[in-house]
Amino acid sequence: MALRKLLAPAFLLATLTTPSFADAPKPLFRDPVFDGAADASLVYDPGGRQWVMFYTNRRATLAGAQGVEWVHGTRIGRAVSKDGGNSWTYDGTADIRYGSGEDITYWAPNVEYIGGQWHMFLTIVPGVFKDWNASREIVHLISRDLKVWDFAGKVDLGSDRVIDAAVHPLPGGGWRLWYKDERDGSATHYADSKDLKTWTHGGVAVKTRGEGPQIIEWQGWYWLIMDAWDGLGVYRSKDLTNWQHQPDNLLKQPGSALTDRAKGGHPDMVVSGGRAFLFYFVQQGGEPEAANDPTWQRRSVIQVAELRFQDGWLTADREAPVDVRLLPP
């Protein structure tokens, strides 16, 4: 089973460097190459005794970019943390053995440990485009070291405009994959598989428009949190099929702290030690530098907030200090 979002997998009985338990900084992480970190996916690496963050490395500072070229041609960045996720260091890019050079775009990695291997479900756009009118697909990659990723196959979902995969084990066995289908008004669809190779389309999970769905199990519920383009939409379920919509979106109101002054976007969640942490990205258009640099709004950083369970639903206070303590089991 993949336990990435519950705790690190059972075989990861390694010891982290003792966390300092200081409050996490704002921003939590900023990409030093293109300053466009987004769409984080976190896992624990037993070999390095560290947490690894994979993320879409948007080319926010690309000179002369036309239209949305800066969101294309992107690599998957890596950052590592040896203090339980409270501070992060840039660690290059993932070596993805699919496509090459600037002729392909990688978006929204989702990384899981399943059956003795690391698996990545990755969105592919076949080129660099000035607009959003291009095909998109999800591919499956495998790795033994979280660095080199070999192509395992394409995920056939019956649509040529699918992005943002999230995978979670089903209670009765097998796996469910959630994704955004742009051909269906950007609704969140799902598909099931017994072997991670053949997928059966299950239908619509959430009809409301959005992207970047992620799943955790916590406080007696399954939770689906997604980027609703108006903060983060929250849904709860007892069976991973029937979802109830939380009345209020998380991180809808921009924060007051520097680098956190925009709505929260495309999240990942990690449950560890009974606590739940929400890792989200924030566009930088609300920062002072944007007044003199119209391209500053392209930049994005990763932030973190702690999830709280209150009256049956979730809250997240982005203004509250948070000491991140991600631990292996």
pLDDT in tens, 252-266: 999 999 999 999 999
3-state secondary structure of 191: strand
The answer to whether residue 6 is domain-embedded is no
Q: For all residues of the chain together, what is the average pLDDT?
A: 93
The pLDDT value given to residue 103: 85
The pLDDT value given to residue 22: 86
Q: Which domain holds residue 53?
A: 37-316
The answer to whether residue 132 is domain-embedded is yes
pLDDT, tens digit, 9 for 90 and up, residues 26-57:
999 999 999 999 999 999 999 999 999 999 99
Contacts of residue 270, defined as CB under 8 A and 6 or more positions apart, other chains included, come to 4, 5, 42, 85, 216, 276, 277, 279, 326
The answer to whether residue 95 is domain-embedded is yes
pLDDT, tens digit, 9 for 90 and up, residues 203-259:
999 999 999 999 999 999 999 999 999 999 999 999 999 999 999 999 999 999 999
The answer to whether residue 329 is domain-embedded is no
The position carrying tokens 């921003």 is: 27
* pLDDT range class, residue 17, cuts 50, 70, 90: very low
CATH number of the domain within which 188 lies: 2.115.10.20
Q: How many domains does the chain have?
A: 1
The answer to whether residue 18 is domain-embedded is no
* Neighbour count for residue 29 (Cβ, 10 Å): 24
Q: Is the pLDDT of residue 1 over 60?
A: no
The pLDDT value given to residue 10: 40
The position carrying tokens 């930049």 is: 299
